[in-house]
Every structure is written in structure tokens, then in C-alpha cells.
Amino acid sequence: MPAQALLTLAQISKNFGRIRVADRLDVSVGDGEVVGIVGPNGAGKSSLFSIISGDIAADAGNVIFDGRDVTKIGPAARCRLGIGRTYQVPRPFLHMTVFENVLVAVVQGSETRGRAAQNRALDVLDEAGLAADANRLAGRLTLLARKRLELARALATGPRLLLLDEVAGGLTDPEVDELVEIVRAQRARGLTVIWIEHVVHALTRSVDRLLCLAAGVVIADGNPGEVLASAAVREVYLGVDPRAAATEVEGGGEA
């Protein structure tokens, strides 16, 4: 367990009917740590984020954030406590401008008002590279800009813990590079990040530690290179028979 844990998941379990997405999970993330999560589709990655953010309730176990048990606290209250998240498919208010989208996040997430809220929204737009699009309707944005807006809205809530759910999916390599730089800038400010991603090279360039989930269980946890090279991860996530593999895992492209 990392020292000075900001987030601790203790014996988290969750089933959807006969499908188990979390099986007595124990995970801890240190304050200021950047952790990546990989795993096959259906492994329970996004469901885990929803349990952390409060969007869904675990069947058993506890979510501890900054020393406080938030298991029975709703998503809005968790957001105000400092848990921000993005979604795989961006969820902007399509008929509002980019600035208005971010301003709503500032007001609702951090409870800042008036001129201070407007200034905070403008600062976040700068951080996310969206200042030039401030007055554009969100529904008219490109995919990259929508991904940036999704990230900006999460940052606007003033999180201590940022949950990134496949923000690089569907982007070109240069576009991925741009998002990686935004995440690195937040990391340099001390923000704690947990990042689910199938674009593996984005994670290996950004995270301190990598987890691999499969069937709701952590099958590997540690140094990114060592995790991706492990036989269990190669077989379950990368679809490589470790007995037949002759080369090391490389960090490019989607898995």
C-alpha cells in the first residue's frame, strides 16, 4: 500500500446479475501518484471508476478518500470533496458554449461563484488548450476538442483525484501526444490521477504504476514495463500466448 494513500478501495465487490465486475478488490493510490489501469473489455475498469465516483454503489466493501469513508456518499458530494472524472464518451452540454460547459463544472464542483468562477473557467480552458474555442458550441467540436472539453470539465471541479476513462481513444498519435502533455502538466502540480486506457504508449509515458484488471480481479500491479511483460497480462489482456511469445511488449498503438 502506498504511503499517505489518498484513495483506498477495501474488499470492493460488484455484480451485475451473473457478471462480476469487482471481486473483493483491494487497491490503494498514494497522494500525488499517477496510476494506469489496463485490461480486456469487460474486465470491470469503468465500473470501478463508477464505484469510486459514486455513480454506482458497490455490493460490498468500502471506498476511503483522504481518510474518510465515502462509501455511502453520492457522486455530487464526492465531486465536491475532490473526486473528478471523465467518461469514455464525452458528455458535454451540446447547445452550450465551451466556456459555459466549463463554468457549470466550476460552479457545481467547487461551489465558486461570480467573477472568481469565470476566471477559473478561463484558466482551465487555457490549461486544456481550448481558449480559442471558448465561444464555440460544444456540439460543433471535433473529437479531439470534445476530449479536451471532457478533461477540462473534470479539472474545473478542482479535483484532488482525477479519473481519466480512455481519453486517448479514437485519437491520432499527435493528438494523443497533446493530451499526454496536459496530463503531465497536472501531474507536475501534484494531482493524483488514475487513468484507464487502451492506448498503451500513452500510459507507459505518463504513469508511475500500472494495474491490470481481468474479471474484476487485479492480476498485476507494479512497474509498467514489468506488468506489460508478465505472462498473465500478455495472455489475458494482449492476447499473446506467453509460451509462443518471442519478443518484449512494445508500447505503441491500441491493444
Domain boundaries, the chain: 1-82+160-255, 91-158
Which pTM does this prediction carry?
0.90
Which region, left, alpha or beta, applies to residue 79 given φ > 0 means left and ψ of -120 to 50 means alpha?
alpha
Task: Say which residue the cell 467573477 belongs to.
Answer: 115
* Rounded Cα distance, 83 and 236, in Å: 30
For residues 236 and 189, the answer to whether their CB atoms sit within 8 Å is no
Amino acid at site 81: L
Long-range CB pairs of 88-94 (<8 Å, 24+ gap) are 88/46, 88/165, 88/166, 88/169, 90/146, 90/147, 90/149, 90/150, 91/150, 92/138, 92/139, 92/141, 92/146, 92/149, 92/150, 92/153, 93/138, 94/137, 94/138, 94/139
**Burial class, 113, CB count within 10 angstroms (exposed 0-12 / middle 13-18 / buried 19+):** exposed
Residue 167 grid coordinates: 481519453
- Say what the pLDDT of residue 155 is: 96
Answer yes or no: are the C-beta atoms of 202 and 35 closer than 8 Å.
no
Q: What is the pLDDT of residue 42?
A: 86
Buried b (16+ CB within 10 A) or exposed e, 165-201: bbbbbbbeeebbebbbebbeebbeeebbbbbbbbbbb
Residue 241 CB contacts under 8 Å (≥ 6 apart), including other chains: 235
Which pLDDT belongs to residue 6?
98
Q: Is 226 left (phi over 0), alpha (psi -120 to 50) or beta?
A: alpha
- From first to last of its 255 residues, the chain has per-residue pLDDT tens of 455 899 999 999 999 999 999 999 999 999 999 999 999 988 899 999 999 999 999 999 999 999 999 999 999 999 999 999 999 999 999 999 999 999 999 999 987 899 999 999 999 999 999 999 999 999 999 999 999 999 999 999 999 999 999 999 899 999 999 999 999 999 999 999 999 999 999 999 999 999 999 989 999 999 999 999 999 999 887 665 555 444 444 444 443
Domain covering 1-82+160-255: architecture: 3-Layer(aba) Sandwich (3.40)
Residue-level pLDDT at 255: 35
Q: Which residues pair with residue 218 across a beta bridge?
A: 213
- One-letter identity of residue 175: E
